[in-house]
Amino acid sequence: MATSNPEIAYEFLPLLRVYKDGHVERFLGTETLPAGFDPQTGVSSKDVNIIPETDVYARLYLPMKLTENSKNDKLPVVVYYHGGGFCLSTASSQNYHNYLNKLVAEAGIVAVSVNYRRPPENPLPVAYEDSWAALQWVASHKNGHGPEPWLNEHGDFGRLFMLGVSAGANIAHNVAMMAGNAASEVGVEILGVGLVHPFFWGSKSIGSEGVSVSTDLVSKSNNDRLWPFVCPSSPDNDDPRVNPVAEGAPSLVGLGCRRVLVSVAEKDLLRDRGWMYYEALGRSGWTGVVEIHEAKGEGHGFHLFNLDGENAKDLIRRLAAFFNS
C-alpha cells in the first residue's frame, strides 16, 4: 500500500527538516504577526513588496511621535535584518515585530525590516543579494522621489543606518563591506551599522567556544554545521563572509560606514567572535568609530524574548543613542 507520508531528505535539528519533494518544515521562528497599528507603542507598520520579481518584501515601521508632528520632521532611517541562522524567521515573525515596535517607539526612527529569501530553498549568497537590493531600494528615496511615501516624507537620509541581530548582523556587516567597495553604487552614505550578537564563526575555536556556555540552539556543533548548510557553494567556515578576520579575508578598512556599534552577551557562545571583530576593526586602519557593549548574565538574542528586562531596555536605549547622536 502506498504511503502518504513524504520521505525525509535530510534534517538540521532542532531547526528544520527537508523532504524529498522539496518541502521544508521549520520548527522555530514560525509564529507571525500582521502589520498594522500597535496600540501599546503607537507604532504603525505595513508590508511593501520591494523586489517584485522575487517577492522580497519589507515591513516598514513609523512612530506615532512623528505622525503627530509636522511632516517636515525627518527621522533616522534604519534598515533591519532579522536573525534566525539565515534559514529561520521572517520580517513578520512575532519576536522581531514586537521588538521593532519597541525600538522604533523609543528611538524615534523609521525602520525597514527586510524579508530576504532563506536557505535551504535559496542558499547563500541569495540573502546577501536580496539585502543589498533592499538597501538600494531604500536609498532610492534619498531625494524624496522613491516609490514609498513613508520614506520620502519622513526619512532623513543623512542618517542612514543598518542594524542586524545574529545572522542578520552578519548580513549587515557583509552589506557594509559591499557598500565600501568603490565599484558599488549605493547612492547614499551609510552613517552607522549596529551588530547585535553577530554570527561570525571559524574553523578553529577561540575563547570559550569549547566549553559549556551554550544553549541547545547556539552550540558549537550547530555552529560548525550551519555555514556549510546555508552556503553549500562555499562550505568553509573560514569563508570571509562568516569569518571576516580569517587569513586572506578582505581588509576591514573597506567597511562602508562611519560608525559601528557591536553588542555582545556574556553567556552567548558568539561573544568572543564579537569581541574579536571589534578588536580587528579597531586596528585595521578603518577611519570610523567602533564601540562595544556587553550585556552581563545574558544569552544569545535575549532581548527578543524578554522585552521588559532591564538589559533589553538598556540595549534599546543604547541603540536609540547610536541612531540619534
Positive/negative CA dihedral, 148, 151, 153, 158: negative
Residues near 263 by Cβ (< 8 Å), separated by ≥ 6?
194, 195, 196, 197, 274, 292, 293, 294, 295, 315, 318
Interstrand relation of 289-295 and 155-165 (parallel, antiparallel or unpaired): unpaired
Nearest Cα neighbor of 83 from 50, 121, 131, 36 is 131
Nearest Cα neighbor of 206 from 249, 165, 243 is 243
Q: How far apart are alpha carbons 83 and 230 in whole angstroms? A: 13
Indicate the DSSP class of residue 302.
Answer: G
Catalytic residue check, 73: no
Out of 38, 130, 239, 268, which one is annotated catalytic? Answer: 268
Catalytic residue check, 156: no
Out of 92, 131, 166, 263, which one is annotated catalytic? Answer: 166
In sequence order, the β-bridge partners of residue 295 are 265
For 272-304, b where at least 16 C-beta lie within 10 A, e where not — what string?
bbbbbbbebbbebebebebebbebeebbbbbbb
| Burial status of residue 227 (CB atoms within 10 A of its CB: 0-12, 13-18, 19 or more) | buried
Catalytic residue check, 300: yes
Residues near 205 by Cβ (< 8 Å), separated by ≥ 6?
220
* Positions marked catalytic: 166, 268, 300
